[in-house]
Amino acid sequence: MKRLGCKIIQGKLEKELKEKTESFIMKGNRAPSLAVILVGSDPASETYVRNKHEACSRLGFLHFDYRFDEDVKEDDLLALIDELNGRADVDGILVQLPLPKHIDEKKITNSISVEKDVDGFSPFNVGRLCLGEECFIPCTPKGVVEILKYYDIPTAGKKVVVIGRSNIVGKPMAMLLMQKGFDATVTVCNTRTPSLKDYTLDADIIIVATGRPGTLGSSMCRNDAVIIDVGVNRIEDKSRERGYRLVGDVDYHSFEDTECQVTPVPGGVGLMTVMMLMENTFESANRRKK
């Protein structure tokens, strides 16, 4: 098996983006800036927000963090987003998902101004992605494309299977790879797909985003397939100080004796997602500069 580690790609992209940011600021522009809104104290969300915060600091971006208790009113969040939409010193706005049940997630994400929707979740951005027009590409699918590029894995004419059809990963992933320029033949599977194996056994590239550990093992793949594991799952592990370990949606070890190329978890797609958020924030700052 070849491990498609992403730390090296993250390092390369971060260095490039840092240089771009320095030159952007040297030309008299304000540093790119990201506002992050976190509701409640879900440990995974806290970690994701911390990672974004740290990436902003490393790159020289400004970041504004807003924290709310679990019982925050929807109207208070909408009022903050409205204020951030109007602020000239904010380039990107991100609401960390999931939100508590009493809050309408769709209403919140749709209230973010299209020009500051650096997550690329708004209907406008999704529509433009579908049409193959310039837009903020959702960070995780954009990161997957960077992995394929870095490791010289072609997509044109290849059979790609995406397992999972969520609005933030599966659907935009499929949409992106079917565009002109990527030119893959894409199949998207879901929980009603009767036998995943019927599709995965024939695939050149398999992208797994189900949130279920063990969704894909080597017996379901060709011996030379490329496997991109988007999943991040916390599994109880008493041998670790923190009481858990992270695993993907793929049975990584089952690939050890194959010729497959597989992204690890951790050290894989997750690193790319944060970098792509930073790239989208830079892009927003660049588009909005005076």
Structure-block tokens of residue 132: 């193959």
**DSSP reduced 3-state for 2:** strand
190 binds ligand NAP (CB under 6 A): yes
Query: Which stretch in 19-27, 52-60, 86-94, 206-214 sits in contact with ligand NAP by CB under 6 A?
Result: 206-214
Q: Which of 109, 111, 258, 273 binds ligand NAP (CB under 6 A)?
A: 273
Closest CB 173 distance from ligand NAP, rounded Å: 9
Q: Identify which of residues 80 and 145 has a Cβ nearer to ligand NAP in the complex.
A: 145
**Contacts with ligand NAP, 230-249, as mask; x by CB under 6 A:** xxxx---------------x
The contacts of residue 81 (CB under 8 Å, 6+ apart) are: 37, 93, 95, 108, 111, 112
Q: Which of 13, 203, 209, 277 binds ligand NAP (CB under 6 A)?
A: 209
**How many DSSP H helices and E strands does the chain contain?**
9, 11
Q: Tell me which residue of 207, 211, 199, 205 sits closest to 247, measured CA to CA.
A: 211
* Residue 132 identity (one-letter amino acid): G
How does DSSP classify residue 250?
A: B
* Residue 277 identity (one-letter amino acid): L
Annotated catalytic residue 179: no
- Find out whether 19 and 31 touch, Cβ atoms under 8 Å: no
Annotated catalytic residue 96: yes
144 binds ligand NAP (CB under 6 A): no
Q: Which residues bind ligand NAP (CB under 6 A)?
A: 140, 163-166, 168-170, 189-193, 196, 209-212, 215, 230-233, 249, 269-270, 273
Active site residues: 52, 96, 119
